[in-house]
Structure formats: structure tokens, C-alpha cells
A = this chain, B = another copy of it.
Amino acid sequence: MSKKIILTEKDMPKAWYNIQADLPKPLPPVIHPGTGKPIGPDDLAPLFPMSLIMQEVSQERWIDIPEPIQDVYKIWRPSPLVRAERWEKALDTPAKIYFKWEGQSPPGSHKPNTSVAQAFFNKEAGVKRITTETGAGQWGSALAFACNLFNIECKVYMVRISYDQKPYRRLMMETWGAKCIPSPSTETAAGQAILAENPDSPGSLGIAISEAVEEAAKRDDTKYALGSVLNHVMLHQTVLGLETKKQMEIAGDYPDIIIGCAGGGSNFAGLMLPFARDKIVDGKKIKILGVEPCACPTMTRGLYRYDFGDTACTTPLLKMHTLGHAFIPAPIHAGGLRYHGMAPIICHLLELGIIEAEAYHQNACFDAAISFSRAEGHIMAPETSHAVKAAMDAALECKKTGESKVILFNASGHGHFDMSSYQKYFENALEDYEYPEEELKKALKTLPNIDA
């Protein structure tokens, strides 16, 4: 029953995989909002160390993982790949279901795969302080964890609604020595402007990014770190997909369907990019599916346009599926899936038809997560429950057709800090939000006029 495929530390990847080397068409350039022209590395230098900027644009297929990063990865990596035989039996499906279990890291998700790398490269560049934003707190705690290990000061702007709803994530950050404040805050011009308009603003990732970026741009000793969206983040996350490839080989299987939930896209990308290469280069037939909430349907209903990464319009312009940078998300419980944009790499692969996307309502996702927990034990984060739901649907489809497909999904994080969401679910108090069409029309008008 339910078998773990365990790698040794010796089997851990020594290099990250960079999909940019294998794309059939290059990524659209990042655009400077002032000039309308592609930005150069120097434009990003106030925010990131040059090593990360170089990774952002690198066309090299493999980028070595420095040993100090590998050393920290070993605190929880390699992570198990699990054949979910108990769940297969419960679902009565001929499908084989595998999940990659990323919930064993100290912060409880895949996020430290990149936070540790970012902290290291910042340390190497002599950076003393890092600011960031966080939604549900997964990323903020992952960066706090990493900064502490490399002796860097860490300040986290946490979306206010999550700050109030999930005090324990903040305490986790403080346990690792970080400072966490609610956003919008009075500490930045961006935060002050939002508060002037709406003192009760629940905040959003877009606002929190504006605040963290503003502080980093203002202070010489401070850089900024982003937990998703950017190319170097996707790169670092491939460590989990590369492990999974080895583990699938050991299991003697190859996935027909690969699934990940997607907010900014990093856990989904981390798992699927090494397999996407097989699809692009070797013509492998794989369905690669990103899953998002109906309340924040970036990939399934958003526009593929240039947009700002933040609400205050301070970041460079990224070509991505977007609901508009002014997007204020409905209060669904998958806090990590409430971002208005999506990783340009993901959006590009979507446009090229290499990957697909689907949206689900949150109650159906919690249903699936409960079914999974009762079979396999682990309690999933609300974000992860979206991947669980898609895996369940694929398995039930196999039951109908009698096919024994191999389904692989990323169990990106545990739900230990999200039990209040489970409480609402048990009390039938969770609403299913559909993103309104008129909001999308409004958003369209706010987009910078680059693509036209």
C-alpha cells in the first residue's frame, strides 16, 4: 500500500533546469514602463543582486546549485514521491496516482526551494536586509527561514486580511527572527496612498509588493525578494521536478498527466518544467495542467497582456495572463492563489499549447482534500487542494474510461496553519465566488498600452 519513493542526499540534483534553453520561441521581453523598451540588467539592480538578474535572463540549460544551498536543502530534501494507493482504492480508479510531498520543509511548503537560493545569492552580494510580501504567509515564512540561516535581516509585508486571519504564520516568521507587518502599512508611500483611500483595505498581494519594492528601492542596504512569478524563481523550483523525474524512473512509471495549483505559478512550474522539456524536445505526450480558483481565474479568463506586477505600478511590465494590477481578490481561503498575474514562463507555455489550465471552486477543492486526507493522512493547504481536486477528477475520469493513466501532482504544502479554513468548510460557511465579467472589462482599461 501507498509506497514512498525515497532518494538519498547523493541523488539530489546538482543543477537547476532552465526551460529558456529549450523554448520553441523565446519569452517576450520585460518592458520598462517609462520607455516602453525592453529593460536591461541594470534596471533591476536596485532590487536584486546581479547573480539573480543573470539567472532571470540566462539561456543556459543547466545552472549549478552552489553547495551552501544544497546543504540547506538537505534539512528537508530530497522530498518523498508517494504512490497514493490508498486513495486510488478509495476512489476505485484504475489510474495510478503519485504525489510529490513538499510539506516536510520547516516552513511547510515548496517555497524554501527558492527562498534559500535567493537568500544565499543576496548574502554572497553583501546584502544585509531583504524585504518581501506574503499572502497567506507561506512565502514570508519561507524567506524568514532562509534569511535566518544566512544571517540576513528580513522584513515581510503581509496582506492584512491574512495577517488578521492567520496570526500563527506571523509567529512562525518571528520564531525565525523576521519582522512581519500588515499591508497596507503607514511605512511606505504606496501603503499610505491606499490607506488614505480606504482605511479598512484588506490588502492584496499587489499592494504588498508595492510596499516591499518601494522600501528596497529606497534603501541601499536592502534588496527585494519575490516568491513566485519571476524566471529565477521557477528555475530554483525545478529541483523538485528533477527529483520527481528520478523517482518516477525508480517507480518504473512516466506521468500521463501532471498537475499543480498555480497562484504565481512556482510550485506548478517546479514540478512540470523538467517534464515539459520531454514534451518539447522528445515529443512526449503529457497533459500538463495548472489549476487555479474560479475566484482568481488568471490563466483561464485573464488577458494575455503586458501588466505591472504590483498595484502601485512600480514594477517593470511583464507579459502575462492578468486580471489587472488593481485586482482585489474575493476572500477565498487559498491565499496563495489570489495574485492578479501569473509567471511569464507559465503564460508563454500556455500560449504555445504546451500546458493547459483549469479553474475550480473552493468547496469542491476542500471536498477533494478531505477525501485525500482520509486516505493518505496528510492535510493539504487550501492552495494545494486545487491540485488534489484536479487529480481526483482525472482519476475518476479513468474510472469511467477504464484507462490506467499515471497521474502526478504536486502536494505543495500542508494545511496546519489553515485549519480555520477547514472549520469554515465543515460549517458550510464557505462561499464559491465566480470572478465577474464586468470586473474583467474594467481591468482591461487599466492595462498599459504596450501590446496594441
Contacts and interface: CB of A to CB of B under 8 A. Distances in A.
Interface of A: 1-4, 6, 8-9, 71-72, 74-76, 86, 104-106, 108, 145, 148-149, 167-168, 171-172, 174-177, 370, 373-374, 376-379, 414, 416-417, 419-420, 422-423, 426
Nearest to A377: B106
Copies of this chain, complex-wide, total: 2
B416 A374 contact: no
By CB atoms of chain B within 10 A, which of A72, A86, A373 has the most? A373
A172 B106 contact: no
A1 B445 CA distance: 53
A3 B414 CA distance: 24
Contact of A377 (B9, B145, B379): B145
Contact of A106 (B4, B174, B378, B423): B378
A168 B420 contact: yes
Nearest to A105: B377
A74 B6 contact: no
Contacts of A168: 416, 419-420
Contacts of A414: 416
Contact of A4 (B2, B9, B373, B417): B9
A176 B2 contact: no
Contact of A426 (B104, B174, B377): B174
14 contacts: A1-B71, A3-B9, A4-B74, A6-B8, A6-B9, A106-B378, A149-B377, A168-B419, A171-B422, A172-B419, A174-B426, A176-B373, A176-B374, A416-B416
Contacts of A420: 168, 171
A31 B373 CA distance: 41
Contacts of A167: 419, 423
Contacts of A373: 106, 175-176
B104 A370 contact: no
Contacts of A419: 167-168, 171-172
Contacts of A378: 106
Contacts of A105: 377
A380 to B, nearest CB: 10
Contacts of A104: 104
A75 to B, nearest CB: 5
A51 to B, nearest CB: 21
Contacts of A1: 71-72, 74
B376 A171 contact: no
A88 to B, nearest CB: 14
Contacts of A172: 379, 419
A416 B108 contact: yes
Given A6-B6, A175-B422, A423-B167, A376 B416 contact: no
A98 to B, nearest CB: 15
